[in-house]
Structure formats: structure tokens, C-alpha cells
Amino acid sequence: MSMNVLEASGLGKRYGGTWALRECTLEIPAGHVAALIGPNGAGKTTLLNLAVGLAAPSAGAVTVLGGCPAGSPAALDGIAFVAQDTPLYKNLSVADMIYVTRQLNRSFDQPYARARLEDLGIPPKRKAGKLSGGQQAQVALTLALARRPRLLVLDEPVAMLDPIARHDFMATVLAAASDDGVSVLLSSHVLTELERVANYLVLLARGQVRLAGEVDDLLATHHHGSLEELALTYLREHPAEVAK
Amino acid sequence: MTAQTMPVQPAEDTTPRPLAWHRMAGVTWRQHRFALVGVVTLLGALAVYLWIAGSSLHSAYAAAIACQPASSPACQDAVNNFNDTGVFLSNGVIFQVLPVLIGAFVEAPVLAREMESGTFRYAWTQGFGRWRWALAKLVALGLAVTVATELFSLLLSWYFRPYFAPGNQALGLDQLSPFNTGLFDLREVTFAAWTLAAFSIGALAGMLIRRVVPAIAATLAVYAALAVAVGGFLRGHYLTPLVTANPNPPGNAWVLSQWWTKGAAVLSPDAVRQAFDSAFAVVAPVVTSRSQKLQAYSSTLQYLTRHGYTQWTRYQPASRFWPFEWIEGGWLLALSLLLLAATVWLVRRRAA
């Protein structure tokens, strides 16, 4: 049996007069690490905001976790979202962030969160604003995973991180996906990083879905050796479509 | 990596039960404890000061009214002592700014900072749900500042009580109208109501403007405009004013306007001045001392009354103090609830 963690049909979002996302029809099956890629301004953040219920669609519909409307109580319970630049309350300590996240959610694995932050060497009494960018990203990811979500949504999680922090962050995400069966949907414009982790790909350009499918299938169909090559070639070969 | 085949559990048909409201209490406290402690510290320090100043004011008042015989020099000293005590506080100006300071600097940043720093993306995607999060936070903070300022206002009411006692005037003690601008909205229920109004203006401004500093500025501006409009125009009309032809309206009344008529005609200010000048020349051609002046003024009034002039006074009697307190407190509360509801509605529908 298979369940879709995300289903969009005719989904569109307009900000003022411009469509950030149009006619997006998409199904992402559960149990994957799905990468949402595309150039800046392609609509990646818009699609993720719609999926987590932060934004409301201007057209069409989006459901998550097998039919829950995005942003509904059941969807909020089952999805953990780490926004771009991993916002934390800068004046709260790490321990307070754990407390706040536990209070705001039905399930929260506090021993896991404590243990993981201890492994990472992040002092609980330190204010979130005093942590390095990599540490803040790790705290945000830990809080998200401690909610034991069925779907983890990450918006440009590694864009601001140095290579080591990037590697550590992705290793955690991968472990959650393979050990705990968490479905992951992440956006990135850093293609090399996705190579190791993604097994499902959605290519967005100019607010529209250009390619979507299992990475292995896409690579086989399009005769490319790597995901990066596939994406770049596609974007280059279809400039008219992409630049419409 | 190996693809996981473990399927996502199908969503339950029933909507999960919402998380308990009390979970937000600790969240709100941890996020806003510095602001709340700041408010309590400020009010506490002012309360200590008020208590000390109030003790000397009240004992000066007690000494002045207990003094016998009232005309003795010692009693005159006691009266002057009361009148000179606490002059600095008697106009209430320094307390007038408290509601808007709390509204602008405590509440305006609450939502504006979430929007400005992007943390709303964290807060609104947690299981608690965004509009319930906003409602719980606003109610908790609103209750906290309302209770704190109402307690403070009880102390303010106690402090100013000697100025409103009937009979002060006869003893030569300072007497203020209960509607005194600057004091009416510090006493009893209006002080907390104004604070809640400032708080709600701050909340809505923060959500609309989404930037901390402009939201604070907007809160200060809107509150100031509202306070001026209410004090200057609205408050005098909560109940239809009374009109009297008695040249001496009841003491303590709030006189809204006065005008003269002769027969059916309303006199212009120029005409009134001319009538006064000519009457004055008749009844009191030579005036030197202060008591003569008072005597001359009252003779002039009598002269004008005998000659068909009538002085009309539109006023609010002092007995309407409590109805006015409840009216002002009531509509400010209603306004605040409306603004807070609008804020929560904006959180609910606002797209990221």
C-alpha cells in the first residue's frame, strides 16, 4: 500500500499580480527523501509554505499525510517544519526552546532531544541567539525530529551552513529517514548535497513543476549519471519552457 | 541510501482533540517574562512612591479637616500644608503615560517581533495551531497587565481621594472635580481599561505592520489620538448634559459650556463683553482690593439678571462620576475585545 505525503492539484499561489506557483499537480509518495530543486525564485518556498499551512492557496488544493488539508490540526500534528534560516527565539535558552516546543505539541520526545543536543555539545543553558549558525540549524532540526513527525519539511536547510555543518545536518536527516521511517521533503539549490540523500526529485522552475519522480527512474529515462547533471541539463535544454 | 518502504499511517478521520490551553501559560511566561517583570517592577516602584507620598498627603488632609477652630492661624497653616503637599502629582500627568508605555513597549513587539524575525514560521507550524496560539498569548498577557494596572489603579484612587471630598472648598482646601482631566482616567476602572485598550492597539499594530519599531510608533500615535479625542470631545457626552440658568452651578460639576441670552436671543461673546462692561461701570465704578473685585463681579451678575440677561450652563453633575467610569471602562473593554479579535483573525488568515 502506498500513501502520499503530499498531493497537490492545480495548486497556485499569487502574490499581488505575480504567480509564485501555478498549476502545480504533484504526488509525493511516503517513505522517501524528496528533494525540491530549482533556481532561485522557482517557487520552492511557496510550495513548502502551502504544504505546511503557512500560506493559503490562491488556486487548487493541497493535502498532506494522505488527505489531511494542509494546516489542519491533524496535519500540524504530523508535520515538523524547519523554515529557511532556522528561526529560533534568540533570547530563549536551548532548554527553553525544548520546553516551548514540548508544550506546543502533542508528542515530544524530550530524552531524545536532550541526548542529541548533548551529543552535539550544545549547552542547554546557552541562548539560541548565541549559537553558531550550524548549531542553530541542529537545534531546529532536533526540535523538529523530537516531535516524532511523519513528515519532515525542510526549507533550504543547509544554504547558510559551512561544509562540515552541512554534512552533519544531512547525516541526521538521513538517519531519521532510514531508521525511523520519517518521510522528508526538502528544498535546496545546492544540488551536490542532494546527491547522497534524495531518492525522489521534484524540479521546479518559474513557478511550475518540470520533472517529478523517483531519482533512479528519472536518471534511467533521461540517461544521466547524476542528479545534478540531470537537473542542469533539463534546465538548459528547455530554456524556452523554463523562461516562459 | 535505501528507500524506506514503511508507509505513512493513514490520517485518522477524526480531527485530533486540540491541545489544552494551559500549555500556553508557561510558553507565554518564558517568552515574555522580561517584559512582564519590567511592568511589575515599574508599577511596584511607583506604588512604593505613591504609598509614601500618599501617606503624607492623607495625614496632611486629616490634620487640616480635624483642626479647630478653622479660622485660627494654626489651622490656616494646616490647610496650606495640605494644599502644598503633592502638587507635583496632583495633575496625574506622570501616570497618564503608563497605559500607552505598557501597550507600546510590551505588547506591540509581541507579534511584530515574531513577524520581523521569522519565528512565526516556527510558532504557527507547531501542533498547537496558530490562531489558538495567538489567542492564548493575547489573553494571558492581556489579563496580566489588566490585573496589574487595576491593582495599581486602586492605589491611585486611594491617593487622590482627599481632593474629591465634599466640603473641601468651605475649608479652603484644594477641591477637584471628579471629572478632572488627567485624573478621571487614572481612578477606579478606567486606568486598567485604557491599559487594555493600549495593549490591544499594540497587538493589532504589531500584526498589521509586522515591524517592531514602526508598530511601537503607530501604537503611541493611535493611542494619543484616541486619548485626546475622548478627553476633549467624547467623554462630555456619555450622558446628555444638564442645563441650568442658575448662575452658580453645583460645585464639583464639570462645566462643558456657558452662554448668555437676553430674551430669546443668544448673545455673541462680544455682546456679552459689552453688557458686562456697561453693567460693571454702573455697579462698581471703583474697584481696588481682591474682595471688592469678587463683590463687584457678583453685583454685576445680579444687575445683568435683573435686566433680562440669563447665563446658561451646560454641565455634568459630579454624581455622574461612577456612571461615567463604567461607560468609559465598558466601551474601552468592548473596543479592546474587538481589536484583539481582529488580531487573532489576522493571524488565522494571514498568508506567510
Cross-chain Cβ contact B128/A79 below 8 Å = no
pLDDT at B132 over 60: yes
DSSP B319: G
pLDDT at B119 over 70: yes
Average pLDDT of chain B is: 84
> Quick one: average pLDDT of A128-139?
89
> Quick one: average pLDDT of A50-57?
92
Contact B123, B135 (CB under 8 A): no
Q: Residue B1: its pLDDT value, please?
A: 42
All residues at 6 or more sequence positions from A85 whose CB lies less than 8 Å from its CB, including other chains: A156, A160, B118
Considering only residues B103 and A223, tell me which one the structure prediction assigns the higher pLDDT.
B103
β-strand partners of B243 = B314
Question: Is residue A130 within 8 angstroms of chain B, CB to CB?
Answer: no
Closest CA to B118 of A82, A113, A94: A82
Domain count, chain A: 1
pLDDT at B289 over 80: no
User: Domain boundaries in chain B?
Assistant: 23-242+319-349, 243-318
* b (16+ CB within 10 A) / e for B146-162: bebbbebbebbbebbeb
Q: Residue B339: its pLDDT value, please?
A: 96
pLDDT at B4 over 50: no
The CATH number of the domain holding residue A183 is: 3.40.50.300
Measure the CA–CA gap between B288 and B269, rounded to whole angstroms. Answer: 26
Measure the CA–CA gap between B233 and B241, rounded to whole angstroms. Answer: 13
> Quick one: average pLDDT of A189-206?
80
Question: Is residue A44 within 8 angstroms of chain B, CB to CB?
Answer: no
Closest CA to A81 of A141, A30, A136: A141
Q: Percentage of residues in chain B with pLDDT exceeding 70?
A: 91
> Quick one: average pLDDT of A170-182?
88
The B-side interface with A (CB below 8 A) comprises: 1-12, 15-16, 18-19, 23-24, 26-27, 30-31, 34, 117-119, 121-129, 133, 349, 351-352
pLDDT at B162 over 90: no
Contact A174, A9 (CB under 8 A): no
Phi and psi based region of residue B346 (left: phi greater than 0; alpha: psi -120 to 50; beta: remaining): alpha
Closest Cβ–Cβ partner in A30, A76, A87 for B7 = A30
Q: Residue B268: its pLDDT value, please?
A: 76
Q: Percentage of residues in chain A with pLDDT exceeding 90?
A: 44
pLDDT at A123 over 50: yes
**Over the stretch B52-72, which tens digit does the pLDDT of each residue have?**
888 888 888 887 777 777 778
DSSP B241: P
> Quick one: average pLDDT of A51-78?
90
Q: Residue B33: its pLDDT value, please?
A: 92
Q: Residue B195: its pLDDT value, please?
A: 94
Q: Residue B242: its pLDDT value, please?
A: 83
Q: Residue B161: its pLDDT value, please?
A: 84
Longest distance between any two alpha carbons in chain A, whole Å: 54
Closest alpha carbon within chain A to B18: A73
Name the strand (E) or helix (H) holding B232: none
Q: Residue A67: its pLDDT value, please?
A: 86
pLDDT at B37 over 50: yes
Q: Residue B64: its pLDDT value, please?
A: 78
pLDDT at B11 over 70: no
Measured in residues, chain A has a length of 244
In terms of residue numbers, what domain contains A156?
4-242
Question: Is residue A19 within 8 angstroms of chain B, CB to CB?
Answer: no
Chain A hits for B37, CB-CB cut-off 8 Å, are none
Q: Residue B9: its pLDDT value, please?
A: 53
pLDDT at B174 over 90: no
pLDDT at A135 over 60: yes
**Which pLDDT band holds residue B13 (cuts at 50, 70, 90)?**
low
Measure the CA–CA gap between B220 and B202, rounded to whole angstroms. Answer: 9
The model's pTM is 0.85
Chain A hits for B125, CB-CB cut-off 8 Å, are 52-54, 76, 79-81, 83
Q: Residue B300: its pLDDT value, please?
A: 79
Cross-chain Cβ contact B15/A105 below 8 Å = no
Contact A128, A90 (CB under 8 A): yes
Q: Residue A217: its pLDDT value, please?
A: 85
> Quick one: average pLDDT of B34-40?
92
> Quick one: average pLDDT of B174-196?
84
Name the strand (E) or helix (H) holding B38: helix B23-66
Q: What DSSP line would sit under chain A, residue for residue?
A: ---EEEEEEEEEEEETTEEEEEEEEEEEESS-EEEEE-STTSSHHHHHHHHTTSS--SEEEEEETTTEETTSHHHHHHEEEE-TT----TTSBHHHHHHHHHHTSS---HHHHHHHHHHTT--TTSBGGGS-HHHHHHHHHHHHHHT--SEEEEESTTTTS-HHHHHHHHHHHHHHHHHH--EEEEEES-HHHHHTT-SEEEEEETTEEEEEEEHHHHHHHHT-SSHHHHHHHHHHH-HHHHT-
**Which range among A199-203, A237-241, B86-90, B218-222 shows the weakest confidence by mean pLDDT?**
A237-241
**Which pLDDT band holds residue B351 (cuts at 50, 70, 90)?**
low
**Over the stretch B188-215, which tens digit does the pLDDT of each residue have?**
889 999 999 999 999 999 999 999 999 9
Q: Residue B291: its pLDDT value, please?
A: 66
Measure the CA–CA gap between B283 and B296, rounded to whole angstroms. Answer: 7
Q: Residue A244: its pLDDT value, please?
A: 40
Closest CA to A137 of A99, A107, A167, A115: A167
**Over the stretch A65-114, which tens digit does the pLDDT of each residue have?**
988 888 888 899 999 999 988 789 999 999 999 999 999 999 999 999 99
> Quick one: average pLDDT of B327-340?
95
Cross-chain Cβ contact A66/B11 below 8 Å = yes
Question: Is residue A40 within 8 angstroms of chain B, CB to CB?
Answer: no
Considering only residues B172 and A102, tell me which one the structure prediction assigns the higher pLDDT.
A102
Chain B hits for A83, CB-CB cut-off 8 Å, are 118, 121-122, 125
CA dihedral of residues B40, B41, B47, B49 (deg, nearest 10): -170
Cross-chain Cβ contact A73/B126 below 8 Å = no
Considering only residues B330 and B180, tell me which one the structure prediction assigns the higher pLDDT.
B330
